[in-house]
A and B are shown apart, each in its own frame.
Chain A
């Protein structure tokens, strides 16, 4: 079952490495346990693998070209030749969907990873150093979090202009603050833990403590945040592209396909609903997988 973002973030902030609660469980064992206990997460995992494969092998899976125009067969209904019909330029919708998956998945993964790195580093610095660094970083994060995410993304996209690199940058700037807040909270807890104190006493440098002790212990949290940030990024990008502010043609993301298909909504609804269904499926799969990881990594769930 899906939980609200707020609740999941709180739960993710409480994750610890298994070693800290006594019993050591290797990552492989954890994944096996998830496979046994959470069928939805496993199915989601395979759906994601399938989607990545379909995107990677797109040219082999379809006889049509991504931008292959065929003006004699514009806006044709789904048929055996074109399983999902054709768009306003006579291009095969299924083919565009497969190629669009490349862009949309990339847009899910890259900003999620970048915002994770930025947020983790800044959050760890804020939590471990404290003082002025903490105050400055967290006030900036507060300001970022005060914006409705879509509005912030729109303003940044306006300033930067369209294009895929700017979409990466924008989504990173929108998402890092939440990661930083979670990592900071966890760092504060870890800082007062016994093994960090022990390391301090034997004279390990601050940077080394941060690299070797604090950040590795935040890994389970970061893994969950990463999985959950992917659908969030895909959603924001598709909303931006829907408004014409994201990816620019001839690149095709699912959001952009919906944007161009919207003019033909009443006569050829599949132009909008096919990429829409793809977005939904992707978001569901990543959300389920994220929740599965959250449950399997959460020590409180283990005891039950």
Chain B
């Protein structure tokens, strides 16, 4: 188990290094000098040359890369070209917003998804099952931007229950979280239903029933715990999906999070900001998957022994 974990940790570090390199190289193959783009057409050649030297952009790529890495591990991601502030400072406040959004979305997805999945499994092939599974189908096939705009149109514009955009109050997070969690909720519901139905076929469920446990008791104490394991592993994949979706949700609802910062960085051709945000988001995904893996091996004794 411990050896397994160290191995995974090492693997994560290697992947992270690869990710950093990839982002770095991709952003350097953009044609044109970023300084010229930044200063506009009217900058004179001497100033451009001075700025280029100041930011170290005239150095060979590998030197630039190692400089970037060594300051990045110390928390310095450079200064944003377009916003003029340190990237780490911009990312810090944005990250909090994205985190709140993601946590709310995940909560929505898990509570609604698991509840629907259990109801469906208990009433297999009857009306509630069909209803819930129809909903989850809608959840899975509805692109995030459609869900976001649909919710915004109905609940913020027509019914005026919540603010249209912004995060001045907590109510501002409700719609974005639902829009973002919608898709995952559908997946969780499907997965819960499938694994629960599979688990209910096991012999130990018959034993529990034979001992005189009621259907709800069997479901909660015997089937549910085991059925939750595959649902838990799905978290990894979903977390990465949530961050992808956050880009869209934050744009639609004007939330100042990492995703929106990334979109701003792209439209402002702001390489340090784009580099920092992409790196941060990917790091979070890698760490999340590492966490889910280790959680899984802690929770499932069969895997614990093998490791």
Q: Which residues of A contact B (CB under 8 A)?
A: 1-7, 139-140, 142-143, 146-151, 154-156, 158-159, 235, 238-239, 242-245, 258, 262, 265-266, 269, 272-273, 276, 279-280, 283-284, 287
Closest A residue by C-beta to B230: A7
Chain A residues whose C-beta falls within 8 Å of the C-beta of B243 in the assembled complex: 148, 150-151
Q: Within the assembled complex, what's the spacing in Å between the Cα atoms of A7 and B192?
A: 13
Residue among B141, B237, B244, B267 making CB contact with A6, cutoff 8 Å: B237
Closest A residue by C-beta to B29: A159
Chain A residues whose C-beta falls within 8 Å of the C-beta of B251 in the assembled complex: 243
Q: Which residues of B contact A (CB under 8 A)?
A: 11, 14-16, 18-19, 22-23, 26-27, 29-30, 133, 136-137, 140-146, 149-150, 152-153, 157, 187, 190-191, 194, 233-234, 237, 240-241, 243-245, 247-248, 251, 262-263, 266-267, 274, 278, 281-282, 285-286, 289
Which of B191, B266, B267, B289 has the most chain A CB within a 10 Å cutoff? B266
Contact B191 A4 (CB under 8 A): yes
Closest A residue by C-beta to B236: A6
Q: Within the assembled complex, what's the spacing in Å between the Cα atoms of A245 and B18?
A: 25
Which of B136, B141, B248, B289 has the most chain A CB within a 10 Å cutoff? B141
Contact A242 B266 (CB under 8 A): no
Within the complex, what minimum Cβ distance (angstroms) separates B114 from chain A?
14
Residue among B15, B144, B187, B281 making CB contact with A148, cutoff 8 Å: B281
Closest A residue by C-beta to B21: A143
Q: Within the assembled complex, what's the spacing in Å between the Cα atoms of A245 and B265?
A: 12
Contact A156 B247 (CB under 8 A): no
Which of A149, A154, A238, A287 has the most chain B CB within a 10 Å cutoff? A154
Residue among A3, A4, A7, A142 making CB contact with B18, cutoff 8 Å: A142
Contact A235 B248 (CB under 8 A): no
Contact A154 B26 (CB under 8 A): no
The 7 A-B residue pairs whose C-beta atoms are closest, nearest first, are A150-B244, A143-B18, A148-B244, A276-B146, A148-B240, A159-B26, A148-B243
Contact B143 A4 (CB under 8 A): no
A155 in contact with B190 given A150-B247, A276-B146 (CB within 8 Å):
no
Within the complex, what minimum Cβ distance (angstroms) separates B53 from chain A?
24
Q: Within the assembled complex, what's the spacing in Å between the Cα atoms of A146 and B284?
A: 10
Contact B278 A151 (CB under 8 A): yes
Closest B residue by C-beta to A157: B266
Contact B143 A154 (CB under 8 A): no
**Cβ contacts A to B, 25 pairs, < 8 Å:** A1-B133, A4-B190, A4-B191, A6-B234, A142-B18, A146-B285, A148-B241, A148-B285, A150-B247, A151-B262, A151-B281, A154-B263, A155-B23, A158-B30, A239-B247, A242-B248, A243-B248, A243-B251, A258-B145, A258-B149, A273-B150, A280-B141, A283-B143, A284-B141, A287-B141
Chain B residues whose C-beta falls within 8 Å of the C-beta of A1 in the assembled complex: 133, 137, 190
Known: A154-B263, A159-B26, A239-B248. 10 other contacts (CB 8 A): A4-B190, A139-B14, A139-B18, A147-B285, A151-B282, A235-B143, A244-B267, A279-B143, A279-B146, A280-B141
Within the complex, what minimum Cβ distance (angstroms) separates B177 from chain A?
18
Within the complex, what minimum Cβ distance (angstroms) separates A249 from chain B?
16
Contact A280 B244 (CB under 8 A): no
Chain B residues whose C-beta falls within 8 Å of the C-beta of A146 in the assembled complex: 15-16, 18-19, 282, 285-286, 289
Chain B residues whose C-beta falls within 8 Å of the C-beta of A6 in the assembled complex: 233-234, 237
Chain A residues whose C-beta falls within 8 Å of the C-beta of B266 in the assembled complex: 154, 158, 245
Q: Within the assembled complex, what's the spacing in Å between the Cα atoms of A266 and B154?
A: 10
Within the complex, what minimum Cβ distance (angstroms) separates A97 from chain B?
15
Q: Within the assembled complex, what's the spacing in Å between the Cα atoms of A269 and B152?
A: 11
Q: Within the assembled complex, what's the spacing in Å between the Cα atoms of A238 and B248?
A: 11
Residue among B143, B262, B274 making CB contact with A239, cutoff 8 Å: B143
Residue among B157, B263, B285 making CB contact with A266, cutoff 8 Å: B157
Q: Within the assembled complex, what's the spacing in Å between the Cα atoms of A144 and B96?
A: 26
Closest B residue by C-beta to A259: B145
Q: Within the assembled complex, what's the spacing in Å between the Cα atoms of A28 and B282?
A: 44
Contact B247 A159 (CB under 8 A): no
A2 in contact with B140 given A151-B243, A265-B152 (CB within 8 Å):
yes
Residue among A7, A142, A235 making CB contact with B15, cutoff 8 Å: A142
Within the complex, what minimum Cβ distance (angstroms) separates A253 from chain B?
13
A154 in contact with B285 given A2-B190, A3-B190, A142-B15 (CB within 8 Å):
no
Q: Within the assembled complex, what's the spacing in Å between the Cα atoms of A143 and B241?
A: 16
Chain B residues whose C-beta falls within 8 Å of the C-beta of A155 in the assembled complex: 23, 26-27, 274, 278
Chain B residues whose C-beta falls within 8 Å of the C-beta of A280 in the assembled complex: 141-143, 146
